[in-house]
Structure 1
Amino acid sequence: MAQDINRLKVVLAEKKRTNKWLSEQVGKDPATVSKWCTNTMQPNLETLVAIAKALDVDVKDLLWSIKNE
């Protein structure tokens, strides 16, 4: 079973932003952003930093903690 790694969908909702908006901010296809939001695919580290900057959050806010697993 696939594990949710990123919290992108949650953070986008908290910031009241859309997948389309994010795709424009980071220069990626909307379908790619959709895959990130469903945890089907993960952004690379450079892209994760760009996403954090666009959403004005810390990179760690975009990831689920594994500390309590």
Structure 2
Amino acid sequence: MEKQIYNRIKAFLALKHKTNKQLAEHLSVSQQTVSKWCTNYSQPSIPELYNIASFLQISVCELLEPTTFNQSDNF
């Protein structure tokens, strides 16, 4: 069973040349927390998603855009 990818924080951090540490400092959370979000081990709250999106200068929708699709998905 594949692990579901819920967010794209890690991808956008790399794209924007930002680090987990910078995001953690901006949000006043630990680097471990950001690491868990980046690996989809846990998920940020909705307010945190908005703060992450603001930090990365992207929309929340871009963070949550699906990266894989099942054949049963109707898009």
What is the TM-score with the length of structure 2 in the denominator?
A: 0.83
Q: CA RMSD in A?
A: 1.7
User: What CA deviation, in whole Å up to 9, does each residue of 1:11-55 have, x standing for no partner?
Assistant: 000000000000001111100000000000000100000001111
In the alignment, structure 2 segments of 5+ residues that lack a partner are: 71-75
In the alignment, structure 1 segments of 5+ residues that lack a partner are: none
1:18 maps to which residue?
19
Structure 1 segment 20-59 matched on structure 2, within 5 A: 20-59=21-60
Letter in 1 for 2:5: D
For the residue of structure 2 that corresponds to 1:42, the secondary structure is coil
Return the alpha-carbon distance in structure 1 between the equivalents of residues 33 and 53 of structure 2: 16
Question: Which is greater in Rg?
Answer: 2
What is the TM-score with the length of structure 1 in the denominator?
A: 0.90
The number of residues matched between the two structures is 69
Return the alpha-carbon distance in structure 2 between the equivalents of residues 65 and 50 of structure 1: 20
Check conservation: 1:4, 1:64, Cα contact below 8 A.
no
For the residue of structure 1 that corresponds to 2:17, the secondary structure is coil
Return the alpha-carbon distance in structure 1 between the equivalents of residues 54 and 10 of structure 2: 16
Runs of 4+ that moved beyond 4 A: none
Check conservation: 2:5, 2:66, Cα contact below 8 A.
no
Return the alpha-carbon distance in structure 2 between the equivalents of residues 52 and 27 of structure 1: 15
